[in-house]
Amino acid sequence: MNALTQLALLAAICFAGEVVAKALPFAFPASVVSMVLLLLLLLTGALKLRHVEQAASFLTRNMAFFFLPAAVEIMASYQTVKGSLLPLLAVLVLTTVITFGVTAGTVSLCLRVQRRRGKERAA
């Protein structure tokens, strides 16, 4: 399927995602609704990988570029953060280390339990 048709499909899914997000009784990011919609369409086979693959791969490979305007907006709010730069950086570093440690620890623990059970079942 050609790239424009693929892009049209993705755009249609995103539009549907926005409609669903507006209908929800709580605030939920429309882009995440669209992601779930696309996953469901792929899992049910309603949409084949070849229908979206090229456009999706272009978008995800260049994902960082699409964030550029949002990041530039920091200029407009620089006054807000100016006085708190150091604490903000400290929070960034500490939370990254904590998040990494907690996630890695939890996964390792679960894997050990899962594998032990697997072995017991095999034995």
Partner 1 sequence: MSLTDTPIFGLALSLAAFALGAFLNRKTGLPLVNPLLVAVTVVMLTLSLLRIPLDHYRKGAQLVSVFLAPATAALAVGIYNQRKVLKQYFLPVLLGCLAGSLASMISAYLLCRAFGLEDALVRAMVPKSVTTPIAMAISESLGGVVPVTVAAVILTGILGAVTAPLLIRLFHVTDPIAQGVAIGTSAHAIGTTKANELGPVQGAMSSIAIGVAGLITVLLSLAL
Site for partner 1 in 83-122 (CB under 8 A): 84, 87-108, 110-111, 114
In the bound state with partner 1, the residue whose beta carbon lies nearer, of 66 and 123, is 66
In the bound state with partner 1, the residue whose beta carbon lies nearer, of 50 and 123, is 50
Q: What is the DSSP letter of 26?
A: S
In the bound state with partner 1, the residue whose beta carbon lies nearer, of 22 and 111, is 111
> Nearest approach, Cβ of 65 to partner 1 (angstroms)?
5
CB 51 within 8 A of CB 10: no
> Nearest approach, Cβ of 123 to partner 1 (angstroms)?
20
Closest alpha carbon to 4 in 52, 67, 65: 52
> Nearest approach, Cβ of 63 to partner 1 (angstroms)?
5
DSSP 33-84: HHHHHHHHHHHHTSS-HHHHHHHHHHHHHTHHHHTHHHHHGGGTTHHHHGGG
In the bound state with partner 1, the residue whose beta carbon lies nearer, of 61 and 123, is 61
Question: What is the rounded (10 degree) CA torsion for 16, 20, 22, 25?
Answer: 180
Taking CB under 8 A as the rule, which mask of x and - marks residues 58-87 in contact with partner 1?
A: -xx-xxxxxxxxxxxxxxxx--xx--x--x
Taking CB under 8 A as the rule, which mask of x and - marks residues 4-43 in contact with partner 1?
A: ---x--xx-xx--xx-------xxxxxxx-xxxxxx--xx
Pairwise CA distance, residues 93 & 84, whole Å: 15
